[in-house]
Chains A and B, each alone.
Chain A
Amino acid sequence: MQQTSSETKYLTEFYHLPEFKGLEGYKKNGGYVDLEKALKMQPQQIIDEVKTSGLRGRGGAGFSTGMKWGFLPKNDEPRYLLCNADEGEPGTFKDRMMMEKAPHQLIEGMIISGYAINSKKSYIYVRGEYDESINTLATAIQEAYKAGYLGKNILGSGFDHDMDIYRGAGAYICGEETGMISSLEGLKGQPKLKPPFPAVQGYLRKPTIVNNVETLAVVKYVIRDGAAAYKKYGTEKSTGTKLFSLSGNVTKPGNYEVPLGYPLKDMVYTLGGGFKPGRKLKAVIPGGSSAPVMTAEEAMKATLDYECLAQMGTMLGSGAIIVIDDNQCMVECLANLMHFYHHESCGQCTPCREGTGWLDKIVHSILAGKGRMQDIELLIKVADNMKGKTICALSDAAALPVLSFVTKFREEFEYFVREGKSKVKGVAYVAHNSH
């Protein structure tokens, strides 16, 4: 294990090697050894191992992976394994790096996972814009087929597994697992009512497990090192390492792998390299655009694990840390987010369809210097009533930033309404045409 600065290179140990992308380079560095090991284990053993490891979904929800697998009904076949590579959460770009630098890592993790849950078919649903990821994966899958890691009777174990790539069309909502299933089925990418949950009735109404790219890749390492060794990283309830996509006003943005429980302060100042001269921290969005924003004060106390961030009223999400310095206008930041959610709402559930548009319009009217004082309260009311009222979490994802931005930076919003211009930038913006 190689340690640079204070990064912990566990998953990303060989990412600096260009050859790691190809089958040969991958095998030279420990590739597919763990698949052989896994195929000699009982599937249930693998599930138990993953359960014990405490691995939690890396896509955003942070649900126990082993437990999710355990929801599959017995004896209902075929079962499907879907890899969620529709990385759409603003601020997140870790899956892309994983697919482009180490496609075989994902493929190996998926075959092991497929074996564990007895699935003979898996799909990687890749975000439509990720051209290079798709090409890299396609080459890697071909290599894996040729080498006998995919197809019939893998490595003589009697286990068959086929893998395909499905290219999304660039809708954020298809990153939601049931939205992804709809899209994969050839339908409009809209989340489905739950229950039934995908583990019971998913793709083509068959039991389906949807896991994030990083989650599936980690499975290989849980098998390699065992649950106990994996648990040495991270905290008690947030085990292992995690890739964080650091972006915003830091001088060294990028993907960083650290053990969970890593201080956010170090992430910003040590790994991220701090700010440009004269600037200072104002706010941090710790887990992708849907996570409630933290003030600088809160951020300095936070550690990057599920419990700490939940306790502070926000979430780890997909691990996308967006750093905002004191040169940014929070009204403008929120307007940017609201435009995104308005654009991406699938339009199925009324509160989200109408609410995202409403929020977008209110924030943009404030941004244009045309806000009314009651708009600030209205933002909170609308967001409050969008929370927990819809089929999927997109409505919550739009509401949470509003609630946190407006409550924590209320003064900036009030200034904007009162003075008709930004407190930070001293200007208003031309009325935005929000479709």
Chain B
Amino acid sequence: MSPTTLIKCTINGVELEVAQGKTIIQAMTENAQRIAHYCWHPGLSIAGVCRLCMVEIEGNPRVQIACNTMVTDGMKINNTSAKVKDAVKWGLDFHLINHPLDCPVCDQAGECGLQDQYMEYGKYDPEMAEPKQRKRKVVDLGPTVVLDSERCILCSRCVRFTNEVSKTNELGIFSRGDHSEIGTHDGKPLDNKYSLNTVDICPVGALTSKDFRFKQRVWYLKDADTICNGCSTGCNVKVYFNKEGVFRVKPRFNEEVNGYWMCDEGRDTYKVVNKEVRLLKGQKFANGQWLPEMHAGTAVKDAYQSLMKAAASEIAVVLTGQHTVEEYEAILSNFQNTFKTKNIFHWVNNPEIFEEFDGLLLRGDKNPNTKGLLQILEKNGIKNPWKNLEDGLKSGKITHLVVFGPENIPVFPDLTAKVNLFTTAKNLIYFTAVNIQQLRDYSGNNTVTKIPLKTYVEKEGTFINFKGLAQKFKRATTLVSEALTGVEAAQLIAGHEIKVVGHPDNSLLTPASTRKDQVTLEHRKKNEFLFTRGRL
């Protein structure tokens, strides 16, 4: 890239150096200056229609929109003068005159651009005495999104999203003037793999997610940063949760990975982490019946005892690409050191579409850390064809099988087949986050122990995405307190006590403080209405 020329400008009295070719709104948001806006979105083209990002430029008698004005050398800009504030106040007023006052029943309340701006610039009694425009309510736009046209402020973000990002062109603005409405064409609903991004970028309650609407008030939710475990892209996301569980997943900006977006599939990953579907306790099946539930730790120690009786060649371990680098390291070192086994197998869920890519974010490899697993197996010189496991089980050479089962089970179409294979082992120790039907229904002659694992929102660790980018994430919340992380499970099953291990410093991940986009994100947070909610 050619070096960017920096030019000087003054924004609200602060002297700044910005790269040439930046618009005023970019310069402001990237430098922690507040500016009101609805239609502008850093990931979309400029529409310039909400007329809220007004700034005063020295030497220009008229206020200008910051989103379509380039910064020039020596420009003096301010958006705090009485003139600008009045312009924004009126801009807001125009947005509000036909907007229904239904905040008490609106799902966006608490993270609404109109509410935010009203608190900052408004707080006045309405002057509009005429009847409001009536438009369509509860419009079914497609399988994921519902539209309330009266709430819509026609910022056109969603239309631009479907035109420019998903390139599916489902949405348009129909009619003219204040009868304008967002809509879809006949027979072509809003149905694409990225449709819920339109809900994220909608600054008001016009577009709501069918999945999330009316589930929770957003002020009862906290949020935490993590990495999506839906596929090998590793989108940076935020999960929103409270003590009842996780309620939604939204994208978090990372220029290198996912930009501003994420797919709809990834948003469903929270569904396999909540208590209702989880395995809460350890349980053992022996002598033809499920024994009473036991503490997870007890179950692992019991498993340890059974493994100690076996020879190294009789023990095998199955791993998927669903766990963290740290977990793989702990599992491999403990099994190799304690049980001396190298029978470690990689369960590949959908090899035939592994290389697929839709051109935007979605990848065929539906595991967040296949790359991480392969790297560690290679480091340890382990390369066992899956057939060896099948043969070993068939011939009875492998009798003790430890499986670290997948967490995001919807992407494991072969789950039933594989579990049926695993249960042919005399002694199956199956670690799983989800209380899977296949094991619950088991009845046979072998011993099966199922032990609860933690999910990606409940642990910290590193995922290495498809292009080798290691992304570290922190624990967001705890939903099943008894469940074990893979690291803990590996230590216990090898007969050790749980050691709390900190992350090594020589992490593959660039520290957040030195990453440019992370700095930007911090600043953007202060400006973007949509992504700052959820704090308690």
Query: Residues on A close to B: CB < 8 A?
Result: 171, 188, 193, 195, 342-351, 353-358, 361-362, 365, 372, 375, 378, 381, 385, 388-391, 435
Bits for B44-56, please: 1 = Cβ < 8 Å to A, else 0.
0011111110100
Q: Is the interface of A mostly helix, strand, loop or mixed?
A: helix
Chain A's nearest CB lies how many Å from the CB of B217?
Answer: 28
Check if B359 is an interface residue, CB within 8 A of chain A. Answer: no
**Other-chain residue from B52, B86, B90, B177 in contact with A342 (beta carbon distance below 8 A):** B177
Q: Is the CB of A350 within 8 A of B87?
A: no
- Residue numbers in B under 8 Å from A343 (CB-CB): 176-177
Q: Is the CB of A385 within 8 A of B131?
A: no
Check if B2 is an interface residue, CB within 8 A of chain A. Answer: no
The B73-103 residues at the A interface (CB cut-off 8 A) are 86-87, 90-91, 93-95, 97-98
Q: Is the CB of B177 within 8 A of A350?
A: no
Query: Residues on B close to A: CB < 8 A?
Result: 46-52, 54, 62-63, 68, 86-87, 90-91, 93-95, 97-98, 127-131, 133, 153-154, 172-173, 175-180
Q: Given A350-B49, A378-B127, A389-B51, answer yes or no on A357-B91 (Cβ-Cβ < 8 Å).
A: no
Besides the contacts A389-B91, A390-B51, what 8 more A-B pairs have beta carbons closer than 8 Å?
Answer: A345-B177, A347-B173, A348-B154, A350-B95, A354-B95, A354-B178, A361-B131, A435-B179
Chain B's nearest CB lies how many Å from the CB of A60?
Answer: 19
Q: Is the CB of B48 within 8 A of A391?
A: yes
C-alpha spacing A291/B304, complex, angstroms? 90
Q: Is the CB of B178 within 8 A of A349?
A: no
Q: Is the CB of B51 within 8 A of A357?
A: no
- Residue numbers in A under 8 Å from B175 (CB-CB): 347
Q: Is the CB of A388 within 8 A of B90?
A: no
Q: Is the CB of A345 within 8 A of B130?
A: no
Which residue of B54, B177, B179 has the most chain A CB atoms within 10 A of its CB atom?
B177
Q: Given A348-B49, A353-B154, A390-B51, answer yes or no on A171-B176 (Cβ-Cβ < 8 Å).
A: yes
Chain A's nearest CB lies how many Å from the CB of B168?
Answer: 18
Q: Is the CB of A357 within 8 A of B90?
A: no
Q: Is the CB of A350 within 8 A of B176?
A: no
C-alpha spacing A344/B49, complex, angstroms? 17
Chain B's nearest CB lies how many Å from the CB of A173?
Answer: 8
Chain A's nearest CB lies how many Å from the CB of B202?
Answer: 15
C-alpha spacing A378/B128, complex, angstroms? 9
Residue of A nearest to B99 (CB): A354
C-alpha spacing A347/B149, complex, angstroms? 14
C-alpha spacing A389/B52, complex, angstroms? 9
Q: Is the CB of B154 within 8 A of A347?
A: yes
Q: Is the CB of B180 within 8 A of A365?
A: no
C-alpha spacing A31/B152, complex, angstroms? 55
C-alpha spacing A103/B330, complex, angstroms? 86
**Other-chain residue from A345, A365, A385, A388 in contact with B176 (beta carbon distance below 8 A):** A345
- Residue numbers in B under 8 Å from A365 (CB-CB): 129-130
- Residue numbers in B under 8 Å from A346 (CB-CB): 176-177
Q: Given A344-B177, A354-B94, answer yes or no on A193-B128 (Cβ-Cβ < 8 Å).
A: no
- Residue numbers in A under 8 Å from B97 (CB-CB): 354, 358
Across the A-B interface, the 5 shortest Cβ-Cβ residue pairs: A361-B130, A347-B180, A385-B90, A345-B177, A357-B178
Q: Given A353-B154, A354-B97, A385-B90, answer yes or no on A347-B51 (Cβ-Cβ < 8 Å).
A: no
Residue of A nearest to B181 (CB): A347
- Residue numbers in A under 8 Å from B62 (CB-CB): 388
Which residue of B86, B98, B172, B178 has the most chain A CB atoms within 10 A of its CB atom?
B178
- Residue numbers in B under 8 Å from A390 (CB-CB): 51
Residue of B nearest to A192 (CB): B48
Q: Is the CB of A356 within 8 A of B177?
A: yes
Q: Is the CB of B180 within 8 A of A353?
A: yes
Which residue of A342, A353, A381, A385 has the most chain B CB atoms within 10 A of its CB atom?
A353
C-alpha spacing A299/B488, complex, angstroms? 91
Residue of B nearest to A395 (CB): B51
- Residue numbers in A under 8 Å from B133 (CB-CB): 357
Q: Is the CB of B94 within 8 A of A391?
A: no
Residue of B nearest to A341 (CB): B177
- Residue numbers in B under 8 Å from A342 (CB-CB): 177-178
C-alpha spacing A149/B345, complex, angstroms? 81
Q: Given A350-B153, A385-B87, answer yes or no on A358-B49 (Cβ-Cβ < 8 Å).
A: no
Chain A's nearest CB lies how many Å from the CB of B125?
Answer: 12
Chain A's nearest CB lies how many Å from the CB of B49?
Answer: 5
Q: Is the CB of B154 within 8 A of A362?
A: no
Q: Is the CB of A358 within 8 A of B87?
A: no
Chain B's nearest CB lies how many Å from the CB of A351?
Answer: 5
Chain B's nearest CB lies how many Å from the CB of A346?
Answer: 6
Q: Given A193-B68, A347-B154, answer yes or no on A356-B49 (Cβ-Cβ < 8 Å).
A: no
Chain A's nearest CB lies how many Å from the CB of B1?
Answer: 24
C-alpha spacing A70/B45, complex, angstroms? 29
Residue of B nearest to A355 (CB): B94
- Residue numbers in A under 8 Å from B90 (CB-CB): 351, 385, 389
Chain B's nearest CB lies how many Å from the CB of A371?
Answer: 10
Residue of B nearest to A193 (CB): B48
Q: Given A348-B49, A350-B94, A355-B94, answer yes or no on A389-B177 (Cβ-Cβ < 8 Å).
A: no
- Residue numbers in B under 8 Å from A348 (CB-CB): 47, 49, 154
Q: Is the CB of A358 within 8 A of B130?
A: yes
C-alpha spacing A365/B62, complex, angstroms? 32
Chain B's nearest CB lies how many Å from the CB of A347?
Answer: 4
C-alpha spacing A345/B178, complex, angstroms? 8
Q: Is the CB of A357 within 8 A of B98?
A: yes
C-alpha spacing A350/B173, complex, angstroms? 14
- Residue numbers in A under 8 Å from B173 (CB-CB): 188, 347
Residue of A nearest to B95 (CB): A350
Chain B's nearest CB lies how many Å from the CB of A263?
Answer: 32
C-alpha spacing A193/B70, complex, angstroms? 13
C-alpha spacing A346/B47, complex, angstroms? 14
Q: Would you give 27 A-B contacts (Cβ < 8 Å), ordered by A?
A: A171-B176, A188-B172, A343-B176, A345-B177, A346-B176, A347-B154, A347-B176, A347-B179, A347-B180, A348-B47, A349-B48, A349-B49, A350-B49, A350-B51, A351-B90, A351-B94, A353-B178, A354-B94, A354-B178, A356-B178, A357-B98, A357-B133, A357-B178, A361-B130, A385-B90, A388-B63, A391-B48
Residue of A nearest to B38 (CB): A350
Residue of B nearest to A387 (CB): B62
Chain B's nearest CB lies how many Å from the CB of A381?
Answer: 8
C-alpha spacing A435/B176, complex, angstroms? 12
C-alpha spacing A94/B47, complex, angstroms? 35
**Other-chain residue from A171, A344, A351 in contact with B51 (beta carbon distance below 8 A):** A351
C-alpha spacing A349/B54, complex, angstroms? 13
- Residue numbers in B under 8 Å from A375 (CB-CB): 129
- Residue numbers in A under 8 Å from B95 (CB-CB): 350, 354
Residue of A nearest to B62 (CB): A388
Chain A's nearest CB lies how many Å from the CB of B385?
Answer: 56
**Other-chain residue from B91, B128, B154, B179 in contact with A358 (beta carbon distance below 8 A):** B128
- Residue numbers in A under 8 Å from B130 (CB-CB): 358, 361-362, 365
Chain B's nearest CB lies how many Å from the CB of A254?
Answer: 32
C-alpha spacing A361/B172, complex, angstroms? 27
- Residue numbers in A under 8 Å from B153 (CB-CB): 350
- Residue numbers in A under 8 Å from B93 (CB-CB): 385
Which residue of A195, A361, A372 has the most chain B CB atoms within 10 A of its CB atom?
A361
Q: Is the CB of B94 within 8 A of A347?
A: no
- Residue numbers in A under 8 Å from B51 (CB-CB): 349-351, 389-390
Q: Is the CB of B127 within 8 A of A357?
A: no
Chain B's nearest CB lies how many Å from the CB of A171?
Answer: 7
Residue of B nearest to A394 (CB): B177
- Residue numbers in B under 8 Å from A362 (CB-CB): 130
